[in-house]
Amino acid sequence: MSIIIIQPGALITLDPSDVRVVVADWDDDNLSDGITIGTSTWTISVIKQNGAAILTKDNEARLTAAEATAALERTVTVNRATRVRLVATTATLGDVYEVENKIITSENPTQTKAKSFRVLIENQ
């Protein structure tokens, strides 16, 4: 299973048979040194839906430093990445979705930050 590192505002395509892991890298997102992710939430909003089936998600997680190092293929020392698995097998060709990852940082006072991207379901 390949991992997709998302870029904010990007459009990714998924085949209707895909089950893919998506990772959000928050390391360079103006977080101060040593700040980690306290909570992470992934949401999916419908932009265009052609059938009754929809894109679904599971396995949401804040990655440990070791998991982030493996996923991002570079050394990561603190928890500053998140992931979700997108299940396109429940979606319909031509569907378009907005997927957002919202985090709350560990600092005091906390910051809330969000990144989103779009997903198009098409044959690949």
With CA atoms as reference, report the closest residue to 28 among 86, 115, 106, 107.
115
Q: How far is CA 18 from CA 31, 94, 102, 124, in A?
A: 32, 14, 24, 10
Residue 30 has pLDDT above 90, yes or no: no
Give 60-119 pLDDT, tens digit per residue. 999 999 999 999 999 988 889 999 999 998 888 999 999 999 999 999 999 999 999 999
**Helix, strand, or coil (residue 14):** strand
CATH code given to domain 3-121 = 2.60.40
Residue 1 has pLDDT above 60, yes or no: no
The helix/strand count (H/E) of the chain reads as 1, 8
Binned at pLDDT 50, 70 and 90, residue 31 comes out as confident
How far apart (Å, rounded) are the C-alpha atoms in residues 117 and 93?
Answer: 18
How far apart (Å, rounded) are the C-alpha atoms in residues 67 and 60?
Answer: 13
